[in-house]
Amino acid sequence: MTERLYYKDRYATSISAAVTASGDGWFRLDRTIFYPEAGGQPGDRGTFGPYSIVDTQKAEDGDVLHLVGKGSAVPSVGETHTLSLDWEHRYFFMKEHSAQHLVSALLFSCFSIGTVAVHQGDMFFTVETDKAEIDEETLLSVEDKANEAIRKGAAVWQDETDHESAESLHMRRSIKVQGRVMLVHIDGIDVVACGGVHVASLSEIGEIAYVSSEKIRGHVRTYWKCAERAVGYRRENAAIVRFLSSLFSAEPGNIEKEAARCIAEVKSLRHDLGAMSEKLAFSLFAAAVAETKGGEPVIFISDAAAAAFDSVVRPDDDRTVLIADREGRFLFQGPEKSFEALKAALPGLRGGGRNGRYRGSFQMDAESFISGARNILDGNGSTERA
């Protein structure tokens, strides 16, 4: 079995190692500093001499497999090279894993909220709780307590013990492994069974930011960022506040109120515009009908949106009607066979409908569309409704 040096020195970034076995896309080493994916923490990546390691996983027998990219060569048994860790990748997930432990510990110790599932990702980590409801104030309180603990810099360490001794600690979550148990301690805050790789001090995390929460499987799942991701999140939000403050000419504390006022104003203007568009549509349709000889299709280009004619063109009107607007939208009322003829003859026409009324778009200028449609409907138009 591979000697796992990441537990002896979690900050080691390179060692010399020899290949003990290899296969299609993988190889094993006599010793490694690469952590295999487990407990929500991604596997490590890096290089072994000239070979790129894209991931590290556990084999069925529990040994460590170093994976190369698909189709890439693998080293032969006996080859010895320097094993070099992608430290930036590893160190971020060490910080994130420790941050997740801290958040789960504070949820439990301060608010009796248990953790049922966790996920670690490049941009955020999640903690799914055993509660159906958690108020925002509670989660922000956890954020405050977590950052206070980070500033104090509590020590984080790992040790190994037997299963019976681990059980006697009555930890906040059950032990999922048999035999020897790896424990992770956060001084004065938490101890839990975990085989992941963690930082030595909470101060290394830098900061934690609560992002959001959602309901899933009857539980509240919470989203968090830490370290450089938390810094980026804070700065991004500050930039948004500055932009909105300038946009609304409002102090940061008044942005929400000013945004609500603007939204209400826009809704009112849209309502007024809709009413005006409908009046314009009625006038345009009446004028077009007046210029159309009896029995001929009513076809015209409108400066009002085609959608404005929905309530103007009555469903029981037997005339064939085609209205196109300058934005490339249309309303057609008439026989289905006539609409199918339009779709077949006019490239770029898309749309559909039922009961003799069809809506959609076209991909040409309005004049060309109406000209082409008129040629088709003058020969195919009918007062018979489909």
Domain ranges within the chain, ordered by starting residue: 3-85, 91-245, 278-380
Q: How far apart are the C-alpha atoms of 204 and 227, rounded to whole Å? A: 8
Average pLDDT of the chain to the nearest whole number:
93
Please, are residues 184 and 194 in contact by the beta-carbon 8 Å criterion? yes
pLDDT at 379: 64
Dig out the tokens for 248 from the structure: 């609304």
Q: Which pTM does this prediction carry?
A: 0.74
pLDDT at 151: 98
Chosen CATH of 3-85 out of 2.40.37.10, 2.160.10.10, 2.40.30.130, 3.40.50.300? 2.40.30.130
Q: How confident is the model at residue 242 (pLDDT cuts 50, 70, 90)?
A: very high
For the chain, what is the HEC assignment? CCEECCCCCCCCCEEEEEEEEEECCEEEECEECCCCCECCECCCCEEECCEEECEEEECCCCCEEEECCCCCCCCCCCCEEEEEECHHHHHHHHHHHHHHHHHHHHHHHHHCCCEEEEEECCCCEEEEECCCCCCHHHHHHHHHHHHHHHHHCCEEEEEEECHHHHHCCCCCCCCCCCCCEEEEEECCCEEEECCCCCCCEHHHHCCEEEEEEEEECCEEEEEEEEHHHHHHHHHHHHHHHHHHHHHHCCCHHHHHHHHHHHHHHHHHHHHHHHHHHHHHHHHHHHHHHHCCCCCCCEEEEECCCHHHHCCCCCCCCCCCEEEEECCCEEEEECCHHHHHHHHHHCCCCEEEEECCEEEEECCCCHHHHHHHHHHHHHHHCCCCCC
Dig out the tokens for 376 from the structure: 């088709």
Architecture of domain 278-380: Roll (3.10)
CA 154 to chain centre: 33
pLDDT at 221: 98
pLDDT at 380: 54
Q: How far apart are the C-alpha atoms of 14 and 82, rounded to whole Å? A: 7
Span 98-131, pLDDT tens digits: 999 999 999 999 999 999 999 999 999 999 999 9
| Lowest-confidence region among 112-126, 223-237, 291-305 | 291-305
Span 318-354, pLDDT tens digits: 889 999 999 999 999 999 999 999 999 999 999 999 9
Share of the chain above pLDDT 70, in %: 98
- Topology, domain 91-245: Threonyl-tRNA Synthetase; Chain A, domain 2 (3.30.980)
